[in-house]
Structure 1
Amino acid sequence: MTETIRNFPVGTQVDMAPDGTIFRHPDRPEPRRNIRAAVHHFRELLKDKEDTSHVFKIFEALPSAKFVPMARRFALSREGQRVRESEPYLPTILDDHEALRQMPAGSVAHAYCEFMEREDLTAAGLVEEGQRAWPDRPHYGDLIEWYAWRRRDTHDLLHVLTGYGRDALGEQCVLAFTYGQNGGFAHLFIAYLGALNVKRGVKTSAPVLRAVRQAHKAGAGAPRLCEMPIRQLLAMPLDEARELMRVGDPSEYYRCHRLWRDRGIDPYDLLGKDLAEA
């Protein structure tokens, strides 16, 4: 529904959910594309792939024209309202490993806990990376913010569901998969430039670009993870959840890993400091 809201300029009309949460705050600025900034932050990311703040900056520099229509369609729908009521903030759910481990053995929840603990990650840590990228950014409390946060907060869960690791190629494949789901040029920008950087730096017959393309195509048939009830997904057997997401077999990604290991190359150190400087 659309209403005129008090405390905003006279005549301001905004879309809002049934509970009164506005879709887009009138003070929220319009995003602008900045290719030069995107390239700069991509170069900085190559120097330290763990510095996720540069990923956030790339997405800010390459805004997606599809994002707001997608957010509007879901956030203002009945299903979106139900999901928001049951899952207002995902990091609280995802970082409660004690509760997640109460779910059945073999579930997504158990796989997620094992992945996050092995990688020494937390959902709250990803939030902190975003805050480090924009320490002075205001919070608008609108549905655009809520939808964007769900996309951010489900990133590591997508690693678990797709089977792509946190190695350099695995990150590019997850981004390519996400583009297939959600669109957004920034996903492809990082995925393919990152893959080209890997291919240039590690000269083998590994099908790096085919692996990214395979992930891209798989994502095109997958439901949007951020729009799914995450608690229900976490309770599902991992195999069933992967079928639901239509992930398929990331065979080209695994083939790259086999070829690299056969040559004594660690797939998890492809973008190490020496390669990034080179």
Structure 2
Amino acid sequence: MNSAIPFSDPNRTQTAFRPMKALHHFRKLVADKEDTEQVFHIIRALSGKTFVKRAQQFWSSDMGATLLAEPQNLVEILDDHATLRKLPLGTVGQAYCDFMEQEGLTAQGLVDEYEKFADKGERFNDLLELYGNRQRDTHDLFHVLTGYGRDALGEQCVLAFTYSQNPNPGVLFIAYAGGREIKRGMKDVPIYSAIREAQNNGKAALKIAHQDIRALLAEPLAAARKRIGIGEPTLYNRAHEIMRSGGVDPYDLMGQKKAAA
């Protein structure tokens, strides 16, 4: 691996495993699920050593070597909807634009949320930082490729899928703790089963963050899912069916839409 940027800054230290700190920030996240900053705190509090090994594997790969020679700004690529909309219908890029525009999201928005957290911690100009940024910037692509929405269960499933792709106990903790919150009053809905299925799907698939993202965006969505090996979200879809049959909107579990009407 040859790079002008060091793999790990000599001043970087390993974050301690702090489960009680993670629980504190999880409670804040439950109180306000839009407070994305809390997710970064939880992941930091429960981070493990496998992150370094995955980063080493990526930067030593052909894809990593290509990016070291010709750096890409994923945020600029993903937020350039004008260019992505020129791709053929049915491609990952078109589906990504549909998803982000429908949800009112941008890749830069996730970066901004991260900056709120990162400003309070240490920042380093090294390949570990760049690898972490790559995992962050591809988050919403996970939604598009897996078929999990931004409903409460969909977010937990994406996290479980992400855990198997990029193991971090903090991610899995949020997924199942969030599932526990959803499960209340939904005895017959396969909440935990859907989360476990997502976890297994993530384990079986190629690592999305290790893909050539520009090329991936130009692939037909169905073909990309097949190539990467992403399984169908069968139990997630089944959970939605059961919720709706019981008069529950999966995207409005707190009944806020009805209350606001």
C-alpha separation between the residues in 2 aligned to 1:168 and 1:270?
8
Q: Give distance in 2, aligned partners of 1:146 and 1:211.
A: 32
**Alignment check: 8 A CA contact 1:176 1:219 kept:** yes
- Residues 1:132 and 2:116 aligned together: yes
- Cα gap change, 1:86/1:107 in structure 2, threshold over 3 Å: closer, same or farther? farther
Matches within 5 A, 1:54-65: 54-65=38-49
Cα distance change on mapping 1:97 and 1:23 into 2, 3 Å: same
Is 1:256 aligned to residue 235 of structure 2?
no
Distance 1:100 1:45, change over 3 A: same
Give the 3-state SS of the residue equivalent to 2:251 in structure 1.
helix
Q: TM-score w.r.t. structure 2 length? A: 0.93
Structure 1 runs, 4 residues or longer, greater than 6 Å off = none
Contact 2:3 2:68 in 1 (8 A): no
Q: Is the 8 Å Cα contact of residues 198 and 271 (structure 1) preserved in structure 2?
A: no
Give distance in 2, aligned partners of 1:51 and 1:272: 19
- Partner residue in 1 for 2:73: 89
- Which secondary structure does the structure 2 equivalent of 1:247 belong to? coil
User: How many Å separate the matches in 1 of 2:117 and 2:141?
Assistant: 22
The question of whether the paired residues in 2 share the 8 Å contact of 1:49 and 1:271 is answered with no
Per-residue deviation at 1:232?
0.4
Distance in 2 of aligned mates of 1:191 and 1:263: 24
* 1:87 Cα offset (Å): 4.5
Alignment match, 1:161: 145
Give deviations 1:202-254, integer Å, cap 9, x for gaps.
Answer: 32411001100111111111111111110000000000011122112111101
Report the Cα distance in structure 2 between the residues aligned to 1:66 and 1:138, rounded to whole angstroms: 19
Q: Which residue number in structure 2 is paired with residue 47 of structure 1?
A: 31
Aligned to 2:96: 112
Aligned to 2:259: none
Query: Relative to structure 2, which stretch is displaced further, 137-146 or 101-110?
Result: 137-146
* Equivalent residue runs for 1:1-278 within 5 Å: 17-200=1-184, 202-270=185-253
Conservation of the 8 A alpha-carbon contact between 1:46 and 1:271: no
The superposition leaves residues 20-62 of structure 1 with CA deviations (integer Å, 9 ceiling, x where unpaired) of 2210001112211111110011111111111110000000100
Contiguous gaps of at least 5 residues in structure 2: 257-261
- Structure 2 vs 1, CA of residues 270 and 50 (structure 1 numbering), >3 Å: closer, same or farther? same
Cα separation, partners in 2 of 1:39 and 1:199, compared to 1, 3 Å: same
> Aligned letter for 1:35?
P
Distance 1:182 1:272 in 2: 33
Identity of aligned residues (%): 47
How far apart, in 2, do the equivalents of 1:146 and 1:166 lie? 26
- The number of residues matched between the two structures is 256
Distance 1:85 1:226, change over 3 A: farther
Q: Tell me the distance in 2 between the aligned counterparts of 1:232 and 1:84.
A: 17
SS of equivalent to 1:267: coil
Provide the rounded CA distance (Å) in 1 between the counterparts of 2:202 and 2:27: 26
SS in 2 for 1:103: coil
Question: Which shifted more, 71-80 or 191-200?
Answer: 71-80
RMSD: 1.5
